[in-house]
Amino acid sequence: MNSFFLGICLFLCLMILPCLYRAIVGPTVIDRMVAVGAIGTKTLVILILMGFLYERVAMFIDISMVYAILNFLGTLAAARYFEMEGEI
């Protein structure tokens, strides 16, 4: 089962690369914000899977919850900033 979780983690790491490309090259600010949100979500899943790999799920769930809150607040702050600037 550990090799399955490790394979899923590696697959998710590879799936972050297209989102990273969209976050850097994206034609609009909205595309970049969505890409960064997708990267954050995939990172959350990777953290949970790492908890299963290290058999410390409770600790990694706490870390991932804090990361999810920070990701959400960062997205809200960026949306608010770009709304004030008139780019959205």
Tell me which DSSP letter residue 78 carries.
H
Q: Which percentage of the chain shows pLDDT scores above 90?
A: 64
> Tell me, what's the pLDDT at 85?
82
Whole-model pTM? Answer: 0.85
Q: What is the pLDDT of residue 88?
A: 65
**Mean pLDDT over each residue of the chain, to the nearest integer:** 90
CA dihedral for 79, 81, 84, 85, sign (positive or negative): negative
Three state DSSP letters for 45-62: HHHHHHHHHHCCHHHHHH
pLDDT digits (tens, 9 = 90+) for 41-68: 999 999 999 999 998 899 999 999 999 9
pLDDT for the residue numbered 83 = 84
**In this predicted structure, what is the pLDDT of residue 18?**
94
73: left (phi over 0), alpha (psi -120 to 50) or beta: alpha
| The amino acid at 65 | M
Looking at residue 42, what is its pLDDT?
94
The token pair that represents 88 in the structure block? 């959205």
Instruction: List the one residue out of 44, 11, 30 whose CA is nearest residue 87.
Output: 30
Domains in the chain: boundaries? 2-85
